[in-house]
Amino acid sequence: MVESDEELVRACRAGDESAWERIVVKYQNLLFSIPRRAGLEKDLAADVLQEVFTTLFEKLDTLEKPEYLRAWLITTTRHKTIHLVQREARGRPRYIDDDESETAFQIPDRAPLADERLIRLEKANQVEAAFGQIEERCQRLLTMLYLEKDQVPYAEIAEILKIPLGSIGPTRARCLQKLLKFIPE
């Protein structure tokens, strides 16, 4: 059973400690990726994550729209990340002038921290979690088809899984359907 954010917040407010754990498990990877993507080391990213969940705990009863918990967590994580990056930068000497002709200002940022990137990261986490829910045979088949570095020939897959060559496609389709059942919409 997949609980909505609103249901999880209500359960937390009612004192259900396991609901709090479910919120942390649900969002920790996504939120951890934000400070890491901003260039913070793992320890500092973990500090940001701790601050975000502490803030959530303190403000849990005052969240006006619990159904927007995900957005609140992402926004709070971004703010805390920016604050920490700025705080860290103040402790370092700066040598770049404000002159925009400086070479450093001409380096394009090709990987911004965009909402689309966060959505892809969250979806990847959901797929990874769903992957662990399906049977081992499907895991092995999908791994060989999609996750191996080098493409595994169908004949080799058939031999390894001991299935007829012609049944790989239909089996793949069934396995993907099983996988989709465990991915929240």
Distances in whole angstroms, Cα of residue 64 to Cα of each of 10, 37, 57: 12, 29, 14
pLDDT tens profile 72-93: 999 999 989 888 887 776 665 4
Place of tokens 């499907």: 138
pLDDT for the residue numbered 56: 92
H-only helix segments in the chain:
5-13, 17-37, 42-59, 69-90, 115-131, 136-142, 154-161, 168-181
pLDDT for the residue numbered 113: 52
Number of neighbours of residue 15 by Cβ within 10 angstroms: 8
Q: Where are the domains of the chain?
A: 1-93, 132-185
Give the C-alpha separation, 167 to 126, whole Å.
Answer: 27
pLDDT tens profile 10-22: 999 999 889 999 9
1 Cα distance to chain centroid: 20
Greatest Cα pair distance in the chain: 67
pLDDT per residue as tens, the chain (185 positions)? 568 888 999 999 999 889 999 999 999 999 999 988 888 888 899 999 999 999 999 998 888 888 889 989 999 999 898 888 877 766 654 443 444 444 444 445 455 455 566 677 778 888 888 888 999 999 999 999 988 888 889 999 999 999 999 999 999 999 999 999 988 76
Give the C-alpha separation, 180 to 182, whole Å.
Answer: 5
Report if pTM > 0.75: no
Q: Confirm or reject CATH 1.10.1740.10 for domain 1-93, answering yes or no.
A: yes
